[in-house]
A and B are shown apart, each in its own frame.
Chain A
Amino acid sequence: MANQQEKPPIYGVMAEFLNPQELYDAVKAAKSEGYDKLDAFMPYPVEEISHEVVNHEHSVVSKIVFAGGLTGAAFGFLFQSWAMGYFEPLQNLTNTLFGYHGYGFNIGGRPYFSWPAFIPVTFELTVLFGAFSAVIGMFVVNGLPQPYHPVFNVDSFDRAADDRFFMVIESADPKFDQEGTRTFLEGLSPQEVTDVDW
């Protein structure tokens, strides 16, 4: 990697809190202190805290889902139009390009391109593609799956999925200074302050 300067000795400093209110106040305090590379950990979503941590940025997942849904709709409709619609120039084109063409079913003399009948499948594919992009998009944006993370080195962190609330200020933060940050966190009256090893 290009970034081969000396790695900070620890990942960051972690403080443990009893409830969302304490964590929220701590995150606000850290932000106003100028720390930005910080993260909060909680057993259930508290919107106010997440918004504070991400600086009130809108989640990109919604855009991914919109794109995914649109792709599904376009694919569904165009595919059916090609396979069933039997537009001759298009058939000839795909035949020349891929050696493949659609198939026109004559059903009671109805038009080949009977597009209203294509809507149910188009709709289902919109939802299907949208749902997959929501799930895959969410995991990718979050960098999951990630089997190892330094925060798991803290013993009490097991309770982050149970009943406790944590804040980590990362050593990558320009304002980070192991002693100073520790003192700052201790000033927020947490249950415990721990160094997070790599």
Chain B
Amino acid sequence: MSTPETRSAAAADPILVPPGDKEILSPGHDAASVTKRIAMIPEGRTPIWMFGVFAVSFSLVGLLLTAITYLVFKGTGIWGLNIPVAWGFAIINLVWWIGIGHAGTLISAILLLLNQDWRNSINRFAEAMTLFAVACAVMFPLLHTGRPWVAAYWLLPYPNTMMLWPNFRSPLMWDVFAISTYGTVSLLFWYVGLVPDLGTMRNRAKKLWLKRLYGVLCMGWRGSARHWHHYEMAYLLLAGLSTPLVLSVHSIISFDFSVSQLPGWHTTIFPPYFVAGAVFAGFAMVMLVAIPVRKLYGLEDMLTSRHLQNMAKVTLVTGLIVCYGYLCEFIYAYYSGNPYERFVVGENRPFGPYNWAWLSLVFCNFLAIQPLWFKKVRQSVVALWIISFIISIGMWLERFVIVVMSLHRDFLPSSWDRYAGTFWDWALYLGTIGFFFSLMFLFIRFVPMIPMSEIKILLPEAKVKGGSHH
């Protein structure tokens, strides 16, 4: 079945009225049509195009597994790491992936607290992205230890016969707690949001085993008003807890750099600038995935132009904060009067051997986002997709600039060196991209990617008159 049939099913839907520019849900929808529309995707058959996606992404997963196997066999010597650049691709990719995850939590938690109802259509999708991005991110520090199978022994505090504890004063230890908490809380938040929809899927399931599976996964959810009452409170509090959490995670990651004494790293702008960069990269990735999926599944009635325009605005704002951060770094370096700081930021970045990275960064993260000021650009899916793609590259380059360009020329010219990723560095990086997209499309295929219960809140019928608020 596949594309033509799924598409024609949607086209034959009499309720499908194209949404206006400002609408977040097609006005033709009612509760039953929302359920049908969203449940149709996991219940239907796999569309042909998805096999193409899986062919590419599963091949990259194969590459990932090969790269990990060879790494475990040979050690981190197969990477381009050297002294002074002991933090190469592994840390660049860790920061890049974690940053991508941040949009999910921003959409699901912060926008919920801010009463932005357009988040209801994209939060599950973005949260899934968070989970998979975190899964990719954690691979890097673990593999960077060289012996991932004993990483727990180094990283986690557990009672041992030597009575030793990891050093809780180290930003690297804070990272362990920040990332593991972030992954766990995101999973909990995602799962809680999924429970009512799993109940819907259970009620719709025709096969007994599937009914039982959904029944177990939704914990026997039956939509009782008493349950919703506690559920809403739990969901709100999870959002309240996730909001400072998401701000803390990238702040703590930035401490890995800013707590050290290295020129180019040791600045107080890092935490806010990292958080803004994370949201910036994350929104770009949401658009990068959502735009094709929306088209291929014909979901324009639920992921409307308004969603894309709002995301484009958030991207522009956070992008400008990031550029403000770049500017601040120069001012700090100049104002510090520290010759090393001035050299690394003011001289090595724009004129050093890696100035191509810095110049491309300025192009990707500053110049390329300027068209977003125009409404016509925000309304064009093609333009948004291209800009999102450029931003994703730009944010990777930003981490390259921060990690490599500060390390390769530090205080003593005698210890200067050059750095480049090897084949295995790239294999691992591309492999995680394949891993991410495999998980993402498996999610799209098997899980209701738009929260049905939350979309239904947007329907006009959901408003009740005569309620006594207090």
Annotate B178-198 by CB proximity to A: 1 below 8 A, 0 otherwise.
Answer: 100100110011011000100
- Bound-state CA distance A52–B203 (Å) is 26
- B332 close to chain A: CB less than 8 A: no
Annotate B133-170 by CB proximity to A: 1 below 8 A, 0 otherwise.
Answer: 00000000000000000000000010100011101110
Q: A40-B224, A40-B225, A120-B174 are in contact. Are A102 and B165 (CB under 8 A)?
A: yes
A132 touching B188 by the CB < 8 A rule?
Answer: yes
Segment of A1-9, A154-162, A176-184, A189-197 in the binding face: A154-162
Segment of B16-24, B69-77, B232-240, B363-371 in the binding face: B232-240
Instruction: Give min CB distance, A109 to chain B, whole Å.
Output: 13
- Bound-state CA distance A100–B203 (Å) is 53
B241 touching A131 by the CB < 8 A rule?
Answer: yes
A56 touching B226 by the CB < 8 A rule?
Answer: no
Instruction: Give min CB distance, B319 to chain A, whole Å.
Output: 27
- B316 close to chain A: CB less than 8 A: no
B222 touching A149 by the CB < 8 A rule?
Answer: yes
Complex interface: chain B residues within 8 A of A144 (CB): 219-221, 227
Complex interface: chain A residues within 8 A of B159 (CB): 100
- A65 close to chain B: CB less than 8 A: yes
A49 touching B237 by the CB < 8 A rule?
Answer: no
* Contact among B169, B196, B452 for A84, CB-based, below 8 A: B169
- A70 close to chain B: CB less than 8 A: no
A84 touching B168 by the CB < 8 A rule?
Answer: yes
B230 touching A120 by the CB < 8 A rule?
Answer: no
A41 touching B234 by the CB < 8 A rule?
Answer: no
Whose C-beta in chain B lies nearest to the C-beta of A65?
A: B237
B248 touching A120 by the CB < 8 A rule?
Answer: yes
- A137 close to chain B: CB less than 8 A: yes
- Bound-state CA distance A179–B417 (Å) is 89
A54 touching B225 by the CB < 8 A rule?
Answer: yes
B234 touching A137 by the CB < 8 A rule?
Answer: yes
- B207 close to chain A: CB less than 8 A: no
Chain B contact residues: helix, strand, loop or mixed: helix
Complex interface: chain B residues within 8 A of A44 (CB): 31, 196, 452-454, 456-457, 462
B223 touching A43 by the CB < 8 A rule?
Answer: yes
Complex interface: chain A residues within 8 A of B171 (CB): 120
- Bound-state CA distance A163–B224 (Å) is 14
B184 touching A160 by the CB < 8 A rule?
Answer: no
From B234, B244, B252, name the one whose CB has the most chain A CB atoms within 10 angstroms: B234
- Bound-state CA distance A130–B234 (Å) is 10
* Contact among A46, A124, A152 for B177, CB-based, below 8 A: A124
- B57 close to chain A: CB less than 8 A: no
Complex interface: chain B residues within 8 A of A118 (CB): 168-169
B225 touching A142 by the CB < 8 A rule?
Answer: no
Complex interface: chain A residues within 8 A of B462 (CB): 20, 44, 46
A45 touching B233 by the CB < 8 A rule?
Answer: no
A127 touching B168 by the CB < 8 A rule?
Answer: no
Complex interface: chain B residues within 8 A of A146 (CB): 219-220
- Bound-state CA distance A142–B35 (Å) is 24
Contact residues on A (Cβ < 8 Å of other chain), bracket: 35 or more
Q: A103-B165, A142-B230 are in contact. Are A125 and B177 (CB under 8 A)?
A: yes
- B431 close to chain A: CB less than 8 A: no
- A80 close to chain B: CB less than 8 A: yes
- A188 close to chain B: CB less than 8 A: no
Whose C-beta in chain A lies nearest to the C-beta of B467?
A: A48
B219 touching A50 by the CB < 8 A rule?
Answer: no
Annotate A26-48 by CB proximity to B: 1 below 8 A, 0 otherwise.
Answer: 01100000000001111111111
- A135 close to chain B: CB less than 8 A: yes
Complex interface: chain A residues within 8 A of B245 (CB): 124, 127
B178 touching A120 by the CB < 8 A rule?
Answer: yes
A41 touching B188 by the CB < 8 A rule?
Answer: no
Complex interface: chain A residues within 8 A of B177 (CB): 120-121, 124-125
Complex interface: chain A residues within 8 A of B229 (CB): 50-51, 53-54, 59
- A123 close to chain B: CB less than 8 A: yes
From B168, B185, B467, name the one whose CB has the most chain A CB atoms within 10 angstroms: B168
* Contact among B185, B222, B227, B454 for A152, CB-based, below 8 A: B222
Q: A103-B163, A127-B245 are in contact. Are A149 and B220 (CB under 8 A)?
A: yes
Complex interface: chain A residues within 8 A of B234 (CB): 61, 65, 134-135, 137-138
- B465 close to chain A: CB less than 8 A: yes
B241 touching A127 by the CB < 8 A rule?
Answer: yes
Task: Pick 17 A–B contacts, CB within 8 A, sort by A.
Answer: A24-B464, A25-B466, A40-B225, A48-B466, A62-B237, A105-B169, A120-B171, A120-B252, A120-B255, A123-B244, A123-B248, A127-B185, A131-B241, A152-B222, A158-B204, A162-B203, A162-B204
Smallest CB-CB A-B distances: 10 pairs: A48-B467, A163-B31, A138-B234, A59-B233, A145-B219, A40-B225, A117-B169, A53-B225, A120-B174, A50-B229
Given contacts A49-B225, A120-B171, A134-B237, 14 further A-B pairs with CB under 8 A are A20-B461, A39-B225, A41-B224, A47-B232, A50-B225, A60-B230, A61-B234, A105-B169, A107-B167, A121-B174, A128-B181, A134-B188, A144-B221, A161-B35
- Measuring CB to CB, which residues of chain A are less than 8 angstroms from any residue of chain B? 19-21, 24-25, 27-28, 39-54, 56, 59-62, 65, 69, 79-80, 83-84, 100-103, 105, 107, 110, 114, 117-118, 120-121, 123-125, 127-128, 130-132, 134-135, 137-139, 141-142, 144-149, 151-152, 158-163
- Measuring CB to CB, which residues of chain B are less than 8 angstroms from any residue of chain A? 30-32, 35, 157, 159, 163-165, 167-169, 171, 173-174, 177-178, 181, 184-185, 188-189, 191-192, 196, 199-200, 202-204, 215-216, 219-234, 237-238, 241-242, 244-245, 248, 252, 255, 452-454, 456-457, 461-470
